[in-house]
A and B are shown apart, each in its own frame.
Chain A
Amino acid sequence: MKSIIALEDVSKRFGPFTALESISLDVAEGEFVSIVGTSGCGKSTLLRLVAGLMPTSGGSIRIADREVTGPTDDVGIAFQTPVLLPWRNVRQNIELPLEVRKLDVGRHQAELTRMIDLVGLRGFEDRHPYQLSGGMQQRVALCRALIHDPSLVLMDEPFGALDAMTREQMNLEIQRIWMETKKTIVLITHSIIEAVFLADRIVVMQSRPGRIASVIDVKLPRPRSFTDIATPEFQDACNQVRLLMNATGFTE
């Protein structure tokens, strides 16, 4: 498989503080990778480096064989908070990246409608963010990250603030979108279950300085469902991650 992201000995320092140290990782095209780790292990920083939102202090990051020096066109990002523009309705919020990138909004209408259907927002196109629940807002943010059809999607704990029920629903939707579109997805999360449920591979990080402790393959069949959680295979994978996190100083 061709790798779409290639990190080589990447480090990031903020003054005297080392946030990330010697990070090397390849993500294959179409792969779903979850990154887990305790708060402050630098996983969000890592995502921002890959997104080109901040410069590295050392090493190299390549996306589709091109060195990352700033934000890349072929990348969509979903943040921890939905960061929707409150004066725009759902449709206009999703269209925002097209307008900013000066793409033809009219030509994307069919795609937009399809996405709105895909995440279950039909009938809410004309609502404003304050009229939506947290889960719906995050869905809008997801559509916004996908509307220009990027081949790589970066997600920074987009479901961290959602209740458990909504979160499971969103995980199912992400899985469906991923299986339908064959995009490469990197998801940051602090939920072990979420990581195992969605990922082909899980990157476990340790903190101070932020480093990759281990990478685990998840070989559960797709599509996965939440009724699979009780199966021994799923539990095994979860325990593996949990043991690793405990070994790196994470206490439950």
Chain B
Amino acid sequence: MKSAYYPLGTFVVFVLGWYAISILFEVPAYLLPRPEAVIERLGQDFGYLMRHAWVTTYETLGGFLLSVLIGVPLAFIIVSSSIVEKAIMPWLVLSQTFPKVALAPLIVVWFGLGIVPKILVTFLVAFFPVVISTVVGLRSMENEMLELARSMKASRFQIFWRFRLPLALPSLFSGLKVSVAFSVVGAVIAEWVGATEGLGYLLLTANANLDTALLFAVLAILTVLGIVLYYAVEMFEQRLIPWHASVRLKEVPAL
């Protein structure tokens, strides 16, 4: 638990800096509310904020899970067939240069204002890292490892489940971590396009009313949501691949 002191220290420095700026430069509250005003707001409207936070969490998780459920099998298909890869890969890459956010209004037109369009937009934003990292992971088997498997007369199925997939997990997880962070962004964007609840919706209303204290409170909750989800994925990772260097040697400086 000691490792938590460091980020908390950074946080305290950040808040103190914020406090100092708002006092020293006498920044008006509608531009930059003081930390205590935000904390007060968080306490005052806690139930209200949590209700909206729950909606956004739900959308984020929905989009993320859909990304995993579609992204991982899609990667399986891509690495198993060069024809499929040639047919799909360029379009996948193209879809990433395309501003997916621009599709959000269309998706709202098609699917209305409910939860479905939110999950779909989140999925669009979050699935690509899952596909790419899984493909890269599944391809990262050394030739000698493959020869070892073949020398044992392993079937295609065995090579995949016993060798390739476990070897792909480290890469897959780095993709999942990026994806879960993108998911929060996706859910907020989806709510901006058309929603009646959720943290993204609250951001828009707070903005319209110049209610910066509420705006900051929502941003704080979004940050916490992102961090919690990220570390949830990381916990899974530590359970599943304790053998990998990125998990084992976390404490060693890389530069």
Contacts and interface: CB of A to CB of B under 8 A. Distances in A.
Contact of B153 (A73, A96, A128, A130): A73
Contacts of A85: 163, 166
User: Looking at chain B's contact residues, is the secondary structure mostly helix, strand, loop, or mixed?
Assistant: helix
A83 B150 contact: no
Interface string A68-107: 0011010101011101011100000000110111000000
A130 to B, nearest CB: 7
A245 B16 CA distance: 74
A53 interface: yes
B152 A100 contact: yes
B144 interface: yes
Contact of A79 (B148, B152, B241, B243): B148
B145 A130 contact: no
B144 A79 contact: yes
Given A100-B158, A100-B162, A130-B243, A71 B148 contact: no
Given A53-B147, A79-B148, A80-B144, A100 B154 contact: yes
B154 A87 contact: no
Interface in B161-186: 162-163, 166
Contacts of A128: 243
Interface in A204-252: none
B149 interface: yes
User: Looking at chain A's contact residues, is the secondary structure mostly helix, strand, loop, or mixed?
Assistant: loop
Contacts of A130: 243, 245, 248
B248 to A, nearest CB: 7
A129 B147 CA distance: 19
A83 B144 CA distance: 7
Nearest to B158: A100
Residue from B145, B148, B241 with most neighbouring chain A CB atoms (10 Å)? B148
A176 interface: no
Interface in B233-255: 241, 243-245, 248
A71 B151 contact: yes
Nearest to B245: A130
A97 B147 contact: no
Nearest to A73: B153
25 contacts: A48-B147, A51-B147, A70-B153, A71-B151, A71-B153, A73-B153, A77-B147, A79-B147, A79-B148, A80-B144, A81-B144, A83-B148, A85-B166, A86-B243, A87-B166, A87-B243, A96-B152, A96-B162, A100-B149, A100-B152, A100-B153, A100-B154, A100-B162, A129-B243, A130-B245
| 7 A-B pairs with least C-beta separation | A100-B152, A86-B243, A79-B144, A97-B152, A87-B243, A77-B151, A100-B154
Interface of B: 142, 144-145, 147-154, 158, 162-163, 166, 241, 243-245, 248
Given A51-B151, A96-B162, 18 more contacts: A48-B147, A52-B151, A70-B153, A71-B150, A79-B144, A81-B144, A83-B142, A83-B148, A86-B243, A86-B244, A87-B241, A87-B243, A96-B152, A100-B153, A100-B154, A100-B158, A130-B245, A130-B248
